[in-house]
Structure formats: C-alpha cells, structure tokens
Structure 1
Amino acid sequence: MKSNVTLKRTAGAALLAAIGAGMNAEVRAQSSVELYGLVGTYVASSKRADTPTATWLEGSGGLTTSYWGMRGTEDLGGNLKAVFTLESFFQPDTGGQGRNATDPFFARNAYLGLQGGFGQITFGRQTNPTYAVMQRLNPFGASVVFSPLVTQSFVATFGGAIVGDTVWNNAVRYETPDFGGFSGTAIYGFGEVPGHNGTANIGLHGFYSGGNLTAGVSLQRVRSGITAPIISQDAYLAGIGYDFKWAKLFATIEGTSTNGNDALTRTYQVGFSVPVTTSGSVLVDWARTTRNQPRTPYSIRNTASLGYDYFLSKRTDVYAIYMFDKLSTASTGSTFALGLRHKF
C-alpha cells in the first residue's frame, strides 16, 4: 500500500516537474536578456596641430569606446515585442565609469520601447542617428580618437563642427522596417522646459544597404540650450560606400549652419579599407573641414589616418595607427598608436 502511494507521489512530482520545465522553456522562448560589451585600450604618442608637444598616454577605447550593456526582448504576441537597452561607457585604463566625470551611468544608451511589423519606437537616452550613419560611412567607424570624420564632427579639441553629443537625452525615436535594404529613422528630443515647446532637437535619417552599396543621409537641428542664450544649429550629412571586394571606398560631405555665433562649416571625407589578408586590413581616411565665422580667423583643418587592423579571432583584434593633423591657424601634429580590442 505504501509503495503504491509512493509511486503515485513520484509520478505526480515527475508530472509537475515536466509541466514546470515546459513553462520555463516557454518563458525562455518568449523573453531573453543578453549581456555584452567591448574592452579597448591603446598606447600612443599623441599630438594635435594646436598642441605644443606630444603626450605619451594609455587611453581608453581607441577604435571603439569601451562599454558594456544589457538588452532584452519579450514576446507580447501578435508580432509585438517589448525591447530595452541599457549601456554604460567605462575607462579600462583607470577603471573609471563613463567617458568622463560628467557622464551618467548608462551614458551610451538607456531606452525602452516596442517593436513590431510597424518598425520600432523607443523612449529614453539614445545614440544620435547622425553619428550612427557616420560610423558606417568611414573606415575607422565610431572612433572618436582616430577617425578624421568623427573627430572633426564631434570632438571639441578637433573643433567639432556638430553641436551636441553623440547621444541625445529625453528622446523618442522611430525606426522603419527594412524595405529592400532601405530604412529610415526619425528622432525628437524633448526640451522639458515649460513654455518652450518646439525648441528641442530633431533629426531625420535614411540609410540604404544592398549588395555592394551603402548610402546614408542625415538632417538634424540641435539646440544647445532651451532658454537664452540659445545656440541653434542645422546640420546635414550625406555619404556613400562601395565594396569592390579588393577595397571598400567611402566618401561623405557634411555641413553645418549655427545661429548664435553665425558659424558655417563644410567637411569633406574620403577613405578606403583594403583587406590584405583574411584577418587584416589597411585603413586610410582623410577629412577636411573649413570654418567661416565672423570675428574669428577663417580656418581649414586637414586630418588623415593610416592604420592596420589585424583580427586574432572573431572577438579580438590588434591595430597600429598613424594620424596626421594640420590646422591652418596652427602647426602640424602627429600621433602614433598601438591598440587592442576584445568583444564579449
């Protein structure tokens, strides 16, 4: 009698365990969270055109700014998903959080949204799509250290032509589905100041990727302040990339018009990457920015980078870069760097 009861209890426990395992499998299928990131560092002798002497340093990032993040999705049914991303910059050379002391904890991205057949809509702190398009139209990608296009656009010490950060706060962003290789993005950053509706950031962006061709265009209006004094800037970026297999070529044009200091800038960039082995590529890029501003000397900046990037594995690469910088109102500068990246 006791053996029958024991047998029934054992069978019941097995059935409950099977049901629980099935439910857990269903939950796992409907919801997922991923931890990922990149650690990068480099050593360099660095000198810009407007600095008197070179500085020896160990820097964070390099070809890519170091970061870690979490992203997840939940299947809500009916081809609708909830999505979120939380990403934080960090400095492996010092262990510091953020790109600098003023960065919030999740400085790279912090957003929540919905994804479906209509595309994706997200809310929070998000990467500026102009920067995202720029990354795909130059051989040095997102690098705020070695990419001539990115440094002349967003880095203040290189005269950054574009007002604002590579990330926007309080933003709502809509991305279209992919239409035969074409996709579009619209983004709006709320000013969050009473009585100043319509004075915040806005951007429209389009990108095409199909076959050997990539092309992108971005239009944005950025305001560095919501209350006086307001610096308002209109900017555009248009570029193209074509993969000939033996080399991938890039070209972009960028322009800005800034009210508040009446500055006009124009940037041209050309570059290419050449795979010389199955694991290594030569990277070459040049950018030229002209700045015309009342009561300020007319200036021209030429920056060029030459690099070799070698992948030790799918996740780890090493690189060597030489960067030349020339400013018409100053002298010249040269940077020599060796770097290492690892994705996880």
Structure 2
Amino acid sequence: MKPTVNRALKATVKATVIAATFGMLAAGSAQAQSSVSLYGQVDEWVGATKFPGSDRAWNVSGGGMSTSYWGLKGAEDLGNGYKAIFTLESFFRAQNGQYGRFTGDTFFARNAYVGIQAPYGTFTAGRLTTQLFVSTILFNPFIDSYVFSPMVYHVFLGQGTFPTYTTDQGVVGDSGWNNSVQYTTPDFSGLSGSAMYSFGNQAGDGRSKKYSAQFLYFHGPFAATGVYQYVNYNNTPGDLSTLVAGYKSQSVAQAGASYDLKYVKFFLQYMYTKNDIETGSFHVNTGQGGVTVPVGPGTVMASYAYSRSNGGLDQTHKSWAVGYDYPLSKRTDVYAAYLNDKYTSISSGNTYGVGLRAKF
C-alpha cells in the first residue's frame, strides 16, 4: 500500500504546486492590470481669525493652505485602451478628529465617482468636483486655501455658505456637485475640455439642474482657462429662495491665465456673476491678480481680489494676502500667511497664522 500512498501523495503535492504557481501568475497578472492607492494630506495651522464685522478668535484649525482629506482611487485595465476607474475622497478636521469640512458635511464630499477612461475621453458619474473650482484654484497663488486665498473667498464664501456676515456676492453651491455626470476630452497638445451636468433627482421636476463647461490650456510657461456654470438650485431643488426671495438662477463665467518667467509667475482672473431674481436681477464683477516668487528654497505668494455688485446689497469686496511656503521635503512644507478682508459698511477682517502640511 505504501507505493500507492506515496504516488497519491506526490500527485497531490504536484497538483498543489501547479495550482499555487498558476494562482501567483494570475495574481501577478491581475496586479499588473489593476491598482488601488491610498493618498491624502493633513494640514493644520495656528493663528487668529477675525471675519468682517466679527470678533477675533484664536485657534488651532485645519486647512490653512489646503483642506485635509484622504482618498482611495483605483483603475482596472479593460483592454483596447479602456480603463474602469473609481475615486472616493473624504475631508476631515485633524484638530478634533471629525470628518468633513464642517459639522453635517457629506462623508465623501471631495469626490465619489466611478467612470470609464477611453481613447476618446473620460466619462465619470457621482459626486464630482466642479469645473469652476478647478479653474479658480489653478490660477491664483494661494490655490485652494479657504483660509488665505482672496479669490477663493470671493468665489466660494457667500450666498448661503458663510453665515458670519451678510453678502449677496459669491457663487451658489459647493465645490462639488451631487448626482453629476461629466465628459472630459483627451489632451490635445496641452488643450483639453470638459462638460458636466447635475440632475435635481426629484420626481416630477426636470427643471432643476446644474451644468458647466470648461477648457484648460497648458503650453510651456503659459496657461489659460475658461469656464461657464449655470445653477437653479443650491443643495436641493427650489432652495434658492431661502437665500434671496424670488431667486431663480445664477450664471457664472470665469477666465484665467498665468505666465511663468521662472523668477516670477503671474496670475490673472476675471469672473462675471449674473443673479436672476424675480424682483430685479443683478450682477457681480470679480477680478484677481497675483504673483509667486521663488525666494530661497521656498515661495513668496501675493494676491489681490476685488468684487463689485451693481444691485442687491450694492457691495464692494476687497481682499489681499501675502504668504511664504517653505518645503521641508517633497511631501512636507511649512507656511506663514496673512489675509485682509473688507466689505462695504462692515469693519475689516484679517487672518494670520503659521501651519504645517504633510502629504501621503
């Protein structure tokens, strides 16, 4: 019986080895064709904040230069130039360990989508970063800082998003849209375009919608963008009237450009905002100019933004900021910055502090 048992044992071992070998090969092949990565950043700063018309608050807070977030993204090669992709990204506040940019924020508020990359473009669906946000942050020296960037203040703080003071300036809606689909073209020698549509997702109401279109151009030291955005609701269909009585819709057009001379980089932006209201529409003109200058291993940043409304509250909004960002490594930097913010008939506000940002 022993020879029979030995032959059976050898056959079993051989089969196991073959199966394991093919399993490892298959796993290696799958790994080569698909990937998932974890990434993000933690940004904390210490300083003082005084919003226009308010008292000063000393604080340890998050997102001085960039809002803290973590994310997961993956791609699977489907062959013939096609890939399935997904992204899930969540903001958080390291100062108190809570998720979101504020209490009540959506968990995956930064991005949450699935899509297909194809030779003729990329299609995505879910919660998507708006094209207006992309153009805004790429063409101002302080990029996506909700604490120190004058242009971010003028575009995204107001119209129901900032309760500290009263203003009818700013853009309706978040930096991300729910229930959205987007198409992005391939890159044509530095030129690309995209279009996005957001559904109201309310039965019997096909009128509630948001849509936008954008182009981006990068060629050597020069870059430019143009974007148009239309909305007729903020978070839920029909809710614009909670911001302003009779508010029907808002249209926004923004253009931006930058030019890098190596020893100084120039930024320029212009935005026209039209608010349609039953009792009388009004518009807001916004402009921003700024520079970044390499100084030692770091970068000096300076920016000035100006907005003027021709109706509504008839406000002028002026903001300027200076800062210095110093890299400790490729993934970690420290910074110091100061922002001054002023509205018509409201006492000036200012924010200053130092911070640390670590990327992973």
TM-score using structure 2 length: 0.90
Equivalent residues in 2 for 1:29-178, closer than 5 Å: 29-51=32-54, 53-156=55-158, 157=162, 159=167, 160-178=169-187
1:73-108, CA deviations, whole angstroms, 9 ceiling, x for partnerless residues? Answer: 111122111111111111111111111122111111
Amino acid at match of 1:101: T
Q: Distance in 2 between matches of 1:181 and 1:198?
A: 36
1:274 to 276, 289, 293: 293
What's 1:308 paired with?
Answer: 324
Deviates further, 9-18 or 135-144 = 9-18
- The aligned counterpart of 1:181 is 190
Offset at residue 15 of structure 1 (A): 2.5
Provide the rounded CA distance (Å) in 2 between the counterparts of 1:94 and 1:73.
33
Deviation at 1:226, TM superposition (A): 3.0
CA distances 1:6-57 after superposition (whole Å, capped 9, x unpaired): 5554444333222111100011111111111111111111123322x32111
My pick for the range that moved more, 151-160 or 76-85, is 151-160
State the partner residue of 2:244: none
CA contact (8 A) 2:147 2:351 kept: no
Structure 2, unaligned stretches of length 5 or more?
242-246
d(CA) in 2 for partners of 1:191 and 1:7? 65
- Kindly state the Cα deviation for residue 133 of structure 1 after the two structures are TM-superposed: 1.2
Give secondary structure in 2 for the equivalent of 1:102. coil
Residue aligning to 1:290: 308
Name which of 244, 254, 268 aligns with 2:271: 254
Q: 2:199 aligned with 1:190, yes or no?
A: yes
For 2:199, the aligned partner's letter is F
Residue 19 of structure 1 aligns to which amino acid in structure 2?
A: F
Distance 1:102 1:223, change over 3 A: farther
User: Map of 1:203-222 to 2, 5 A cutoff?
Assistant: 203-222=212-231
| CA–CA distance in structure 2, aligned partners of residues 226 and 169 of structure 1 | 12
Mapped to 2, the partners of 1:56 and 1:167 lie a distance apart of: 29
Which 10-residue stretch deviates more, 57-66 or 228-237?
228-237
Does the 8 Å CA contact 2:148/2:351 hold for their aligned counterparts? no
Deviation at 1:185, TM superposition (A): 0.9
Partner Cα separation in structure 2 for residue 6 and residue 95 of structure 1: 56
Shift, 1:336, TM fit: 1.4
Structure 2: how far apart are the matches of 1:226 and 1:111?
Answer: 22
Identity of aligned residues (%): 39
C-alpha distance in structure 2 between counterparts of 1:174 and 1:308, whole Å: 37
1:153-192 CA distance string (max 9 Å, x none): 1012474511111110100011110011001010000012
- Does residue 336 of structure 2 align to residue 320 of structure 1? yes
Q: Is the 2:208–2:238 contact (alpha carbons within 8 Å) kept by the matching residues of 1? A: no
Matched residue of 1:293: which SS?
Answer: coil
In structure 2, what is the Cα distance between the partners aligned to 1:184 and 1:50? Answer: 41
Q: Output the aligned Cα RMSD.
A: 1.7
CA distance in 2, matches of 1:97, 1:5: 58
SS in 2 for 1:142: coil
Q: In 1, are the aligned partners of 2:281 and 2:311 still within 8 Å (CA)? A: yes
Structure 1 residue runs without a partner (length 5+)? none
For residues 115 and 98 of structure 1, the distance between their equivalents in structure 2, rounded to whole angstroms, comes to: 29
Q: Which amino acid aligns with 1:121?
A: F
Partner Cα distance (2:109, 2:352) in 1 = 29
Shift of 1:207: 0.4
CA contact (8 A) 2:87 2:112 kept: yes
Residue 215 of structure 1 deviates from its aligned partner by: 0.4
Alpha-carbon distance in structure 2 between the residues aligned to 1:145 and 1:85: 26
Residue 270 of structure 1, CA deviation: 0.3
Q: Work out which of the residue numbers 283, 289, 311 in structure 2 matches 1:264.
A: 283
Q: Secondary structure at the match of 1:231?
A: strand
Query: What TM-score comes out, normalization by structure 1 length?
Result: 0.94
Find the partner of 2:237 among 226, 230, 233: 226
